[in-house]
């Protein structure tokens, strides 16, 4: 496993995304992922599965210090009381004393960003969360957030068909990281002949080529969801090869501003 070292925390570049996983399937997925080597688990209040994730972690019987856990505060809870109560509820459901990273899940037009981030910093000082960050923030808003608080992450949709140049430039400029969700574009990479051809060269699948492309970039992590043991194992098997600079650039060239996640409350994007 490769790590991103940031603010005295080691973040595994590959994690398990748990969006849409619930019940026993979620619990089993988390336990199995940890058993085969995952050390980064991503959840959120909105996923309505934190209790299942918590049981999965407990079943894995792993040393807490060896696991990096992220959760998120939903955009309708972005007040001082909403954030505080939200994280307390998340910790209770996860059966954890702290999470490694707490994110603002989406920005809100009526949020007081300074108050939100100051609340997260207070929770950080109380050791309820080790790190704080944001998700789905355009580059301009990341700059604004970073001027207020030591946010270390922006979690956004990122895959070969969606260029995130502005966000990448900003997070790197400020020593932050980008966590990519929807990293295989909801399976679209499986049909891409460019990625199929590269996979044949390395003996890897298009999914593995895509994930390798992501984590080989500076300060980029990826959190693919995988509901089967086979896919979880496949996603993890990307650390025994490297793409050339030419191949990395070729995958970058596939971008076509193809955004898959864009709810009505989304901000105005930079790219």
Catalytic residue among 38, 47, 158, 181: 47
* pLDDT over threshold 90, residue 230: yes
Of 75, 82, 78, 76, nearest in space to 105 by CA: 75
* pLDDT over threshold 90, residue 27: yes
Quote the percentage of the chain above a pLDDT of 90.
Answer: 98
Boundaries of every domain in the chain: 3-189+214-228
Report pLDDT for 270. Answer: 83
Query: How buried is residue 19: exposed, middle or buried, by Cβ count under 10 Å (0-12/13-18/19+)?
Result: middle
* pLDDT over threshold 80, residue 271: no
Q: pLDDT grade, residue 8 (50/70/90)?
A: confident
| pTM of this structure | 0.98
Residues 36-52 have a mean pLDDT of: 98
Q: Is 47 known to be catalytic?
A: yes
Of 74, 77, 75, 24, nearest in space to 53 by CA: 24
Quote the percentage of the chain above a pLDDT of 70.
Answer: 100
Contact between residue 157 and residue 261 where contact means Cβ atoms under 8 Å apart: yes
Q: Which residues of 185-198 are buried (b: 16+ CB within 10 A; e: fewer)?
A: beebbeebebbeeb
- Which superfamily is assigned to 3-189+214-228 in CATH? NADP-dependent oxidoreductase domain (3.20.20.100)
């Amino acid at each position: 496993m490769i790590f991103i070292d940031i603010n005295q925390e080691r973040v595994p570049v590959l994690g398990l995304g748990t969006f849409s996983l619930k019940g026993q399937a979620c619990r089993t997925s988390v336990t199995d992922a940890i058993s085969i080597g995952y050390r980064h688990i991503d959840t959120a209040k909105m996923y309505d599965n934190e209790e299942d994730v918590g049981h999965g972690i407990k079943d894995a019987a792993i040393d807490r210090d060896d696991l990096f856990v992220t959760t998120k505060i939903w955009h309708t809870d972005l007040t001082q009381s909403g954030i505080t109560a939200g994280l307390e509820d998340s910790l209770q459901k996860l059966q954890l004393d702290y999470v490694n990273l707490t994110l603002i899940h989406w920005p809100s037009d009526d949020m007081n960003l300074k108050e939100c981030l100051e609340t997260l910093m207070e929770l950080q000082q109380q050791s309820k969360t080790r790190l704080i960050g944001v998700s789905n923030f355009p580059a301009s808003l990341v700059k604004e957030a970073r001027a207020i608080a030591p946010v270390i992450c922006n979690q956004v949709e990122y895959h070969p068909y969606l260029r995130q140049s502005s966000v990448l430039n900003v997070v790197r400029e400020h020593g932050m990281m980008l966590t990519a969700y929807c990293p295989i574009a909801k399976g679209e990479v499986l049909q891409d002949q460019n990625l199929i051809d590269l996979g044949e060269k390395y003996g890897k699948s298009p999914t593995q080529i895509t994930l390798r492309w992501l984590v080989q970039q500076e300060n980029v992590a990826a959190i693919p969801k995988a509901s089967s043991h086979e896919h979880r194992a496949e996603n993890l098997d990307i650390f025994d090869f490297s793409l050339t600079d030419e191949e990395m650039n070729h995958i970058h060239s596939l971008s076509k501003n193809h955004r898959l996640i864009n709810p009505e409350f989304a901000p105005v994007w930079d790219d």
